[in-house]
Amino acid sequence: MNEIKWGIIGCGDVTEVKSGPAFNKVPHSKLVAVMRRDAAKAQDYAKRHAVPKWYSNAADLINDAEVNAIYIATPPLQHETYTLAALAAGKPVYVEKPMALNGIAAQNMANAAQQHGIKLVVAHYRRAQPLFLKIKSLLEANTIGQVRLVDLKMLQPKANQVIANTAENWRINPAISGGGLFHDLAPHQLDLMLYYFGNVKQFNGLAHKKDAAEPVEDLVTGHILFENGVVFNGMWCFSSPKNEQTDRCEIYGSKGKISFSVFGQSIKISVDSDEQLINFEPLQHVQQPMIEQVVAYFRNLGPNPCSAEEALVTMKLMDGFTGKNN
C-alpha cells in the first residue's frame, strides 16, 4: 500500500494529543475514520479533528473498505479481540501498550499476525523519540564503558501527573487494565531496557498490595539478568508520599553513569569528574516519531519498529514480576 488510511478504535483522551493528530501530519498517512462505543463522543471527536467518518461499532470500522490500517487505542481488555478481528480482515494493526491483559493474550495476537501474514506493531513509542535514541547511541559508543547495572526507581503517590487523564480510572481495575499503574507505566520502562540490552537470560520479582483500599498491587520489584551480563533492578511504588516522588533510571558502566527519567526531558552523563546535561524539547505529539516508522513499515520501506514478539517479552516480564505466570 502506498497511502496508509487509518481507522482508530477507541478515540478516547489519550488520542486527543499524544497520537491522534499525528496520523494526519505524517507523509502518506491519513486518519479517515474513528470508532467509540459512545456514538455521540465518536461523532464529536470526528468533528473536532476533521475526520470524515465515525462509528460506534468496531466491526463497522474494521470492514470499512477505505480503511487499510487500524490503530487500537482502547484499554488493554479489548486489545486482543480487536487485534484478532483486524488481522483476520487482512488489515495491519498498530496497538497500544501494554500489548494485552497478559502474556497469554499477547501470544495469541502474535500468533494471529504470523498465521494471517499481516503486520502488527506495538506502540512502545519511546523507542523512536530523540531522547531515548540519544541514550542508545551513547551506549553503543561505550560512552560510559561496559554497562554493569541498571537501577530504576519509580515512587509515586496515588494521585500523580504521570498517567494520562481519563474520565474513568480504569487503570486500577485489573479486569480492564491487567493490573494497576505498574501495568500502565512499566511497559515503557521495560521495553527500553529490552531495546538497549537485548535478550533476557532470567528474571524474577514480587508484587504486594500495600494500600488495602485498592484492588491491585501498588508495590512491585523486578530483576533481570540479560544475556550480555547486564543486571537490571527495578522498584515501583504507587502509594508513596508526595514528598518522596521519584522517577529515575541510572545506567552504570565501567567508566561512568547515564541518568534520566523515562517520563522526563533530560539526560545526565557522568564520566569521571565530568558531567554533561542534555535537555530535549517536549514533543507536541509524543507518538509522531513512532507513527512515522510504522507508516514506513506498512509501506514496505522500513523495519518493524516494535514487533509483537518483542512486546511479548515485556508482557512476560510483567507477568513474572507480579506472579501472574504462576
Element (H, E) at 121: strand 120-122
Distance, CA of 262 to CA of 144 (rounded, Å): 19
| Residue keyed to cell 486489545 | 79
Query: Which of 263, 212, 221 minimizes the C-alpha distance to 239?
Result: 212
CATH 3.40.50.720 spans which residues of the chain? 4-125+286-305
- DSSP tag of 326: -
Judging by DSSP bridges, how do beta strands 256-260 and 246-253 pair with one another? antiparallel
Query: Which of 207, 192, 65, 198 minimizes the C-alpha distance to 131?
Result: 192
| Residue keyed to cell 507505566 | 185
Q: According to the CATH classification, is domain 4-125+286-305 in 3.90.950.10?
A: no
First-last CA distance in the chain: 43
Where residue 323 falls (left for φ over 0; alpha for ψ -120 to 50; beta otherwise) is: left
Query: Which of 71, 79, 86 minimizes the C-alpha distance to 24?
Result: 71
The alpha-carbon radius of gyration of the chain (Å, integer) is 20
Whether the bond into 98 is cis, omega within 30 of 0: yes
C-alpha cell at 325: 505466570
Whole-number pLDDT of residue 54 = 98
Q: 130-282 falls under which CATH superfamily?
A: Dihydrodipicolinate Reductase; domain 2 (3.30.360.10)
Whole-number pLDDT of residue 23 = 98
Kindly state the greatest CA–CA separation across the chain: 61
Where residue 26 falls (left for φ over 0; alpha for ψ -120 to 50; beta otherwise) is: beta
Distance, CA of 76 to CA of 302 (rounded, Å): 27
Whole-number pLDDT of residue 171 = 79
Whole-number pLDDT of residue 166 = 52
pLDDT (tens, 9 = 90+) of the chain, 326 residues, equals 899 999 999 999 999 999 999 999 999 999 999 999 999 999 999 999 999 999 999 999 999 999 999 999 999 999 999 999 999 999 999 999 999 999 999 999 999 999 999 999 999 999 999 999 999 999 999 999 999 999 999 999 876 555 555 555 777 788 898 888 999 999 999 999 999 999 999 999 999 988 777 778 899 999 999 999 999 999 999 999 989 999 999 999 999 999 999 999 999 999 998 999 999 999 999 999 999 999 999 999 999 999 999 999 999 999 999 988 75
Whole-number pLDDT of residue 160 = 59
Whole-number pLDDT of residue 212 = 74
CATH 3.30.360.10 spans which residues of the chain? 130-282
- Whether the CB-CB separation of 300 and 311 falls below 8 Å is answered with no
Distance of CA 214 to the CA centre of its chain: 24
Which amino acid appears at position 183 of this protein?
Answer: H
**Predicted model pTM:** 0.94
| Residue keyed to cell 470492514 | 63
Distance, CA of 130 to CA of 265 (rounded, Å): 10
H helix intervals, the chain: 39-48, 58-62, 79-88, 103-116, 130-140, 174-177, 181-197, 288-298, 308-321
Which amino acid appears at position 54 of this protein?
Answer: W
| Residue keyed to cell 512499566 | 186
Distance, CA of 93 to CA of 99 (rounded, Å): 12
